[in-house]
Structure 1
């Protein structure tokens, strides 16, 4: 049995800046046995930190996303139901095919004017004050408004929903996570039933209720709840962190910010570098060895947990020259910020569209944007990579 690296021993430094730890691990090899930090300190997993090995693992069918096959179940699956990120083919193929019928490229592209309008309204409110928390005033309300309108979710109590959502993706303890998942499950069940009773409407969730494949297949009520859950959570939490991490990277690299301001034609490339440099998802969700296998020569037993380090892989010195340097002229593609293989992020086009509109508009309307102080604490756990606040002035 390989030695276990206890990531919890690195303390708060690992949460704030995990890159030095990942670099140390990569120097010793691309795969390591680790104990997870925080409230998941009971869990031991294999952590993949090399780029090529991570890319291969993300597409390896021997690594299952459905833990039920090996007796593993998780809180959200028990209370919400199975969803895309916890399904394997053929179930995953079926679910993704059904949602792809409704969540089309045309639907995403049609959101552009509304995203621009929401962005402008948020800045109209924020900019006259001269200072604000970027997360609270901009990075969070933009994507949550977009995804709620896309799905047809009535305006929520934003503070309550934010607390539930963040606790699900970056749990601080088991009891609060349980309460958040229960509350979300109850809300989504009522929302879907309301939409069924209300009849046809032009929103994604209503389309998913009506969507039928050629063979007559449709999403069951439980599958609908799971789909709404993953679209609602993943559809905004990742974009919150993309916007916040991206702005922070620009403001802590003034030469890169100046280059972007001088030539907005660099924006698309800058967004790809933001995704590589400090992507919104630190590690992919759990995978399980459906059979004994080797990853980079390291034996993994059937049933063991594998974590693919997206952030770690995107800083691999073997893949990127000077990977710890933020360079908006670099072409980092294909990076792994949105994953790879059949579980590649369904919402990647929407996240890129929101980032393109939000960042350009923010930089144009706040030419003297600057940090007001250090960022707030980073989110706990190893799933999401983001900060709770970012004080700004202009």
Structure 2
């Protein structure tokens, strides 16, 4: 598919171009300056995909109620499509982030209390325990790929406990989740849709069986228990229940894993800031916020299709167009952040957009922060000689998420 830019002068933004996803920030800066609301069309006359680069515009569209998340699934499921695409899209359509009001609020309400700030903060000690368990297996080795050994298992084990999923199932859960992530980040192919469709079918069957098992047992106050309560009240269908749990598992570890990996990579690339954090552990809270801003775990996100024409940055967006706020660009916007390309854990102005805003603000934002602080505290305490390994860190393809494929370290 040949992209046709609708914006003059600067060329086409392609988030899957290796030159972009390996180092996106200079590219973002050019678009913020020259074409901050940038349209790409697959062909002349086709609906556009609008990339939004400036902080103020990103906040505006994130808060807009004139966009539909559900539209893409209605179109895909209504027309001819490969079976794997249909299966994947049909099940994804039950995730709360893929629903419009009032369904989104109804689904969110079913589990909101589990992720409330006080509930999230109460998990700090348990997160620290899990971090130490994982580090017990790493410390004697003197080296590790921190993504495989720590960054992914930690939040997956935590969110599994929050949901109520058996701890021993986490490797299988990770495999299914990675199939979703690969499809969303890379150029879609029939093979990727088939893998994701198979994974989502297997995950769906697993959750339906688990829901049946939990119905026959005593109630537990976890996310699965809350979903079952909502199901009994008639607030959720069975498809809603399965989709909500599936989303919580996927979103509940992916962002935090990338926060940990990106944060360690950034600290190792800024030894003065790493030394300062070791000397002043009281800076941990602001350090985690700066990591979220500087290397945003989620870089771009599709927030839906336009329902009615509206104007943004002097451009007119039409019904059927899709809107893609570039969170990673918003978080480097020089109109909001002084010296935005400088990593500074003492920074006080932290109005970053890493977790979104408006009705689709990340439900697990506080939990991700708690996990991040616990993870970095454990790493600095247990690995005092932490440094980059011999092999370079390698970024994974795509810009939906900012994710390291490998993070070799020694200690």
Query: Do the structures match in fold with TM over 0.5?
Result: yes
Correspondence 1:154 to 2:166: yes
| 1:212 to partner: Cα distance | 7.4
| 1:270 to partner: Cα distance | 0.6
RMSD: 2.4
Hey, what's the Cα distance between the residues in 2 that align with 1:22 and 1:373?
30
Hey, what's the Cα distance between the residues in 2 that align with 1:106 and 1:209?
22
Q: Which residue, 134, 138, 151 being the options, matches 1:139?
A: 151
The answer on whether the counterparts of 2:298 and 2:327 sit within 8 Å (CA) in structure 1 is yes
- For residue 184 of structure 1, what is the aligned residue in structure 2? 203
- For residue 388 of structure 1, what is the aligned residue in structure 2? 405
| 1:261 to partner: Cα distance | 1.0
- For residue 215 of structure 2, what is the aligned residue in structure 1? 196
| 1:101 to partner: Cα distance | 3.8
Hey, what's the Cα distance between the residues in 1 that align with 2:352 and 2:263?
15
Hey, what's the Cα distance between the residues in 1 that align with 2:272 and 2:373?
20
- For residue 224 of structure 1, what is the aligned residue in structure 2? 241
| 1:325 to partner: Cα distance | 1.1
- For residue 224 of structure 2, what is the aligned residue in structure 1? 205
- For residue 20 of structure 2, what is the aligned residue in structure 1? 14
SS in 1 for 2:385: coil
User: Closer, same or farther in 2 for the Cα pair 1:363/1:384, shift >3 Å?
Assistant: same
| 1:300 to partner: Cα distance | 0.7
Greater displacement, 148-157 / 254-263: 148-157
Correspondence 1:259 to 2:276: yes
User: Closer, same or farther in 2 for the Cα pair 1:284/1:232, shift >3 Å?
Assistant: same
Hey, what's the Cα distance between the residues in 1 that align with 2:199 and 2:386?
35
- For residue 81 of structure 2, what is the aligned residue in structure 1? none
Hey, what's the Cα distance between the residues in 2 that align with 1:86 and 1:128?
44
User: Closer, same or farther in 2 for the Cα pair 1:11/1:106, shift >3 Å?
Assistant: closer
Q: Which residue, 20, 28, 31 being the options, matches 2:34?
A: 28
| 1:184 to partner: Cα distance | 2.0
Q: Which residue, 334, 341, 346 being the options, matches 1:317?
A: 334
1:63-212 equivalences in 2 (<5 Å): 63-67=67-71, 71=75, 76-171=88-183, 172=186, 173-211=192-230
- For residue 39 of structure 1, what is the aligned residue in structure 2? none
Correspondence 1:48 to 2:63: no
Hey, what's the Cα distance between the residues in 2 that align with 1:128 and 1:69?
49
| 1:376 to partner: Cα distance | 4.5
- For residue 236 of structure 1, what is the aligned residue in structure 2? 253
Runs of 4+ in 1 over 6 A off after TM superposition: none
Q: Deviations over 1:163-195 (max 9, x none)?
A: 321221232433322222222222222222222
Runs of at least 5 residues in structure 2 that lack an aligned partner in the other structure: 78-84, 187-191
User: Closer, same or farther in 2 for the Cα pair 1:12/1:35, shift >3 Å?
Assistant: farther
Hey, what's the Cα distance between the residues in 2 that align with 1:344 and 1:183?
28
User: Closer, same or farther in 2 for the Cα pair 1:226/1:310, shift >3 Å?
Assistant: same
User: Closer, same or farther in 2 for the Cα pair 1:72/1:293, shift >3 Å?
Assistant: farther
- For residue 82 of structure 2, what is the aligned residue in structure 1? none
The answer on whether the counterparts of 1:80 and 1:185 sit within 8 Å (CA) in structure 2 is no
Hey, what's the Cα distance between the residues in 1 that align with 2:48 and 2:182?
18
The answer on whether the counterparts of 1:273 and 1:332 sit within 8 Å (CA) in structure 2 is no
The number of aligned residues is: 387
Hey, what's the Cα distance between the residues in 1 that align with 2:178 and 2:331?
24
SS in 2 for 1:32: strand
Hey, what's the Cα distance between the residues in 1 that align with 2:31 and 2:115?
39
SS in 2 for 1:339: coil
| 1:234 to partner: Cα distance | 0.2
User: Closer, same or farther in 2 for the Cα pair 1:229/1:259, shift >3 Å?
Assistant: same
Q: Deviations over 1:182-227 (max 9, x none)?
A: 22222222222222233422322122211479xx552211111111
Correspondence 1:369 to 2:393: no
Hey, what's the Cα distance between the residues in 2 that align with 1:83 and 1:316?
31
The answer on whether the counterparts of 2:164 and 2:224 sit within 8 Å (CA) in structure 1 is yes
Correspondence 1:280 to 2:286: no
| 1:137 to partner: Cα distance | 1.0
Hey, what's the Cα distance between the residues in 1 that align with 2:282 and 2:215?
45
Hey, what's the Cα distance between the residues in 2 that align with 1:35 and 1:177?
26
User: Closer, same or farther in 2 for the Cα pair 1:259/1:273, shift >3 Å?
Assistant: same
Q: Deviations over 1:42-101 (max 9, x none)?
A: 995100011100011100111222216973557544025422211222111222222224
